[in-house]
Amino acid sequence: MTLVKRSITLHGHRTSLALEPEFWSVIEDHIKRESRSLASLVAEIDDNRDPEDPLSSAVRVWVLGIALSGVSEA
């Protein structure tokens, strides 16, 4: 599976995040619906994650939560 890398600025520092295209698709749909930036969403996830967890893992778990909440609302 191919990872897609995106560069963003978090708390004044440039970082990159590599995720599978399917995760990026969910994220892009969400930020478009919420009219927010990718950086603001990832910063929120970053602020709420356990510092020992990799950022990419925290983002994947966030996407899973979004997907599961959509299933429970259906």
48-62 residue pLDDT tens:
999 999 999 999 999
Q: Which residues pair with 15 in a beta bridge?
A: 8
8 A C-beta contact, residue 28 and residue 41:
no
50: helix, strand or coil: coil
7-37 residue pLDDT tens:
999 999 999 999 999 999 999 999 999 999 9
8 A C-beta contact, residue 59 and residue 29:
no
For the full predicted model, state whether its pTM sits above 0.85.
Answer: yes
Closest CA to 59 of 25, 34, 36, 12: 25
What is the Cα Rg of the chain in Å?
A: 12
